[in-house]
């Protein structure tokens, strides 16, 4: 069961796969960037998988997040979950996938009161 809904309201939202994958224990947690009351970006890892989360306050904002925390010499699949008003689901969350490594930088556009979640898995 998911925290924001009742089971009978489930409509096949694709972003729920993120919640299915999130571990309950972590090997490490790092704050990458943030300002109290404004925004925060945190990365955690469990085993070889990494989870990056960024949220903002009521203000839209653009951020650049370096993936330099990833192990050098490895390529990862980044599955990105982000607000997108053009998506046809009721939750308006877009899901996209890309290849990244420790030299990659995410250019994030956050909607007011929005956020982004990323699951990074080694290829």
Please report whether residue 23 resides in a domain: yes
Give the pairing of strands 49-56 and 61-66: unpaired
Q: Which domain holds residue 62?
A: 7-122
What are the pLDDT digits (tens) for 54-107? 999 999 999 999 999 999 999 999 999 999 999 988 889 999 999 999 999 999
Please report whether residue 68 resides in a domain: yes
Domain tally, the chain: 1
Distances (CA, A) of 79 to 10, 40, 67, 94, 118: 21, 19, 14, 10, 6
φ, ψ at 106 (rounded to 5°) = -90, 130
Please report whether residue 105 resides in a domain: yes
Please report whether residue 88 resides in a domain: yes
Of all helices (H) and strands (E), which one includes residue 20? helix 16-21
The pTM for the full model equals: 0.91
CATH of the domain at 54: 2.60.40.1180
Please report whether residue 66 resides in a domain: yes
State the pLDDT at residue 3.
Answer: 59
């Amino acid at each position: 069961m998911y925290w924001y809904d009742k089971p009978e309201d489930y409509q096949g939202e694709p972003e729920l796969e993120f919640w299915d994958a999130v571990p309950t224990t972590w090997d490490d947690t790092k704050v990458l960037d943030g300002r109290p009351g404004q925004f925060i970006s945190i990365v955690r890892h469990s085993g070889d998988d990494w989870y990056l989360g960024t949220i903002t306050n009521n203000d839209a904002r653009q951020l650049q997040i370096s993936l330099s925390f990833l192990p050098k010499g490895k390529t990862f699949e980044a599955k990105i979950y982000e607000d997108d008003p053009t998506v046809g689901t009721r939750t308006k969350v877009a899901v996209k996938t890309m290849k990244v490594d420790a030299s990659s930088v995410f250019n994030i556009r956050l909607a007011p009161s929005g956020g982004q979640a990323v699951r990074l898995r080694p290829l």
